[in-house]
Amino acid sequence: MACTCLCLYASRSQAQRTGERAVSGPIDPHATTETRALFLNLRSLARSHVLLGHQDDLAYGHDWIGESGRSDVKDVAGSYPAVYGWELGGLEHDKTNNIDGVPFADMRRWIVEGYGRGAVITISWHMDNLSSGGNAWDTTSNVRAILPGGLKHRDFVQWLDRFASFANDLRARGPSGTEVLVPVIFRPFHEVSGSWFWWGASHATDDDYRALWRFTVDYLRNEKGVHNLLYSYAPNADGAGHDHYMNAYPGDEYVDVLGYDEYFRPPHAGDADAVVAMSAHLRWLVTTAESKAKIPALTETGYELIPDSTWWTSALLPAIKSDSIGRRIAWVLLWRNANRAKMGRDHFYAPYKGQASAADFARFRRDPLMMFESDLPPLYRLPR
């Protein structure tokens, strides 16, 4: 697929000649029609609506695992989420199940199902630390060894090959009935501004992180012919706000979505200050993303265990909605509802039937700004 690289430059210069801005679509000039449509539709829908997403929504919930058609979000709000988050940890070793016990075969099926209902798919990857043999949180060695020329680079390429096979295997019926690849918003190496992952700020120089990111994109796009991906950069807002957001930014040619991971944490999770802080971050994020013709999104958020029964309408909604610019994010993704029996403790970010904030979440769902799956316009047809 060596020609892809040349085509990339050809299409850019063609875009320049015709006066079209080179950045007006996704970074992959060969993105599938549905992937390009998703990019354009999400970018414009963000101006008026915010999609609600949930991690692992169809796989399990607080009190159930693998029940067909079940979703904690749907149980409480009457609709599936508009965005489904999935996690690839374990795929690098060709495992049957991911880091949280979700069988990859089922994940593929749920991805295709969600797409079939018109929703958006996004994927994270808590990839093990190849150099040390530890997990994603093992920071004892850094990214150098997996970069081109590094001792472990070939192994890393094999991990990307596994991901490429996964992405190229997400086949579904498209809008016109023909077979298409499901577009996926890929969010690798997330929360780089924190230092809890091996690719995080204290463990990788900004240049090394950028090299890792660019190699990953170039390899998947140009060598492996993966053209159903939009790429989301997603630093973490905790502590530093947006001051460090751009430090490791891979560049406008390498990023489609400017994401942000920001959680509400006790004891200030519902405070006016927390709401104001998030609102300011989102204002900055949207302003920056729009200036680059990218998509802004709150790629992870939530308040673990949601002990405040009105938190959705008294904290999260105002944090998103109160600023007329900050509210122009494309989606907000709540982290997973771990199964209580399996995990041995509570670890959830969306309400489930009977949870203290369930009624308020249903109110949140009815806000005209918010969109769940049943509210979505078609996202996979190119806008006229």
Interface residues with ligand BMA (CB under 6 A) are 87, 89, 99-100, 126, 336
Beta strands in the chain (DSSP E): 50-55, 60-61, 64-65, 83-87, 120-124, 171-173, 179-181, 184-187, 229-233, 257-261, 295-301, 331-334, 370-371
C-alpha to C-alpha distance for 133 and 141, rounded to whole angstroms:
9
| Least distance (Å) between residue 101 CB and ligand BMA | 9
Tell me which residue has its CB nearest to ligand BMA.
87
Q: Is 286 within 8 Å of 242 (Cβ atoms)?
A: no
Pick the closer one to ligand BMA by CB: 99 or 325.
Answer: 99
Catalytic residue among 87, 92, 262, 300: 300
Burial of 278 (0-12, 13-18, 19+ CB in 10 A): buried
| Least distance (Å) between residue 384 CB and ligand BMA | 39
Catalytic residue among 34, 191, 262, 373: 191
| Least distance (Å) between residue 236 CB and ligand BMA | 11
Whether 253 is a known active-site residue: answer: no
Pick the closer one to ligand BMA by CB: 99 or 356.
Answer: 99
Burial of 162 (0-12, 13-18, 19+ CB in 10 A): middle
Whether 300 is a known active-site residue: answer: yes
| Least distance (Å) between residue 121 CB and ligand BMA | 16
| Least distance (Å) between residue 247 CB and ligand BMA | 23
Pick the closer one to ligand BMA by CB: 200 or 326.
Answer: 200
Pick the closer one to ligand BMA by CB: 131 or 236.
Answer: 236
C-alpha to C-alpha distance for 211 and 148, rounded to whole angstroms:
9
β pairing state of 331-334 and 50-55: parallel
Pick the closer one to ligand BMA by CB: 136 or 230.
Answer: 136
Bridge partners of 229, per DSSP, are 184
Q: Which residues are designated catalytic?
A: 191, 300
